[in-house]
Structure 1
Amino acid sequence: MPGIFMTEAAYISPEIRMGLEAARKAAHRHGRRLRVQVGDIWYPIRSMDDDGIEIALDVAPKLRGHIEIHEGPRVIRTALIVAAEVRDDVMRYAFKRATAPRNEAPVDYVRLLPASAGLIEVQ
């Protein structure tokens, strides 16, 4: 039938498909506040998975190298990235390495006992 295409699950008219795509984009805008900072400019992340991130193609910078991914004011991941491919209306950046941020500095020795929480003086 003209004007109708087949997906894996069902037949969907173009009007419904466009409505679903608009709803998906709106959900990305109002979802998690993931973003990447480059200099003084913040770029919103449309989606993130274990393999990389996606940024809207119309604002996507030429990113490469070390980045920090923020959720609001909090750093949630540091990563080494490379531009991978353009998909529809987003630029996909692939992680070469991605790790959770550290809360404390690394040490160059083995800690045998847990650190004491404080000192109680006996009088």
Structure 2
Amino acid sequence: MYLPKEVQAGLDAARKAELKKKNRLRVKAGGEIFKVLRFREDGFTLDVEEAPHLRGFVDLYDGAKHLYQCLVIASVEEDGEMFYEFKRVTAASDKPALDYYVEEDTPVALVTDQRE
């Protein structure tokens, strides 16, 4: 089906606006934050007009919750979206990594009697 360029551009802009509105995912790279249009198991897409060709480490957020630290590379540009492929994805944790085994019944704190 043939559509005039202006109509097609309007439809594409409306589709992008709808994707941005319904998706809470964000990518933080170099102090800048970009809205994720689509998220897949092997990567994500950003609006090609707003995002640079990212390469390297980025952080992926769902609202304020830090989900992943990712190593990405710009892969394919299609329909005004740039696809960024994951080279590595590491789940973010709010606890430090443990370098030792913790027993199940290990005390979590030391309580002393302060009445003396």
Q: TM-score, normalised by structure 2?
A: 0.74
Which residue does the alignment assign to 2:88?
Answer: 97
Matches for 1:1-123 after TM superposition, within 5 Å? 4=1, 24-118=15-109
Which residue does the alignment assign to 1:8?
Answer: none
Per mean C-alpha deviation after superposition, the further-off stretch among 33-42 and 66-75 is 33-42
In the TM superposition, what is the alpha-carbon distance from 1:120 to its structure 2 partner?
A: 6.7
| SS, match of residue 20 in structure 2 | helix
Asked whether the 8 Å contact 2:27–2:34 carries over to 1, the reply is yes
Runs of at least 5 residues in structure 1 that lack an aligned partner in the other structure: 6-13
In the TM superposition, what is the alpha-carbon distance from 1:51 to its structure 2 partner?
A: 0.5
CA RMSD of aligned residues (A): 2.8
Any idea what the Cα deviations from partners look like across 1:43-63, whole Å, max 9, x if unmatched? 111111111010111112121
Counterparts in 2 of 1:59 and 1:23: CA distance versus 1, 3 Å = closer
Asked whether the 8 Å contact 2:20–2:36 carries over to 1, the reply is no
Identity %: 30
The number of aligned residues is 110
| SS, match of residue 62 in structure 1 | coil
Runs of at least 5 residues in structure 2 that lack an aligned partner in the other structure: none
Q: TM-score, normalised by structure 1?
A: 0.71
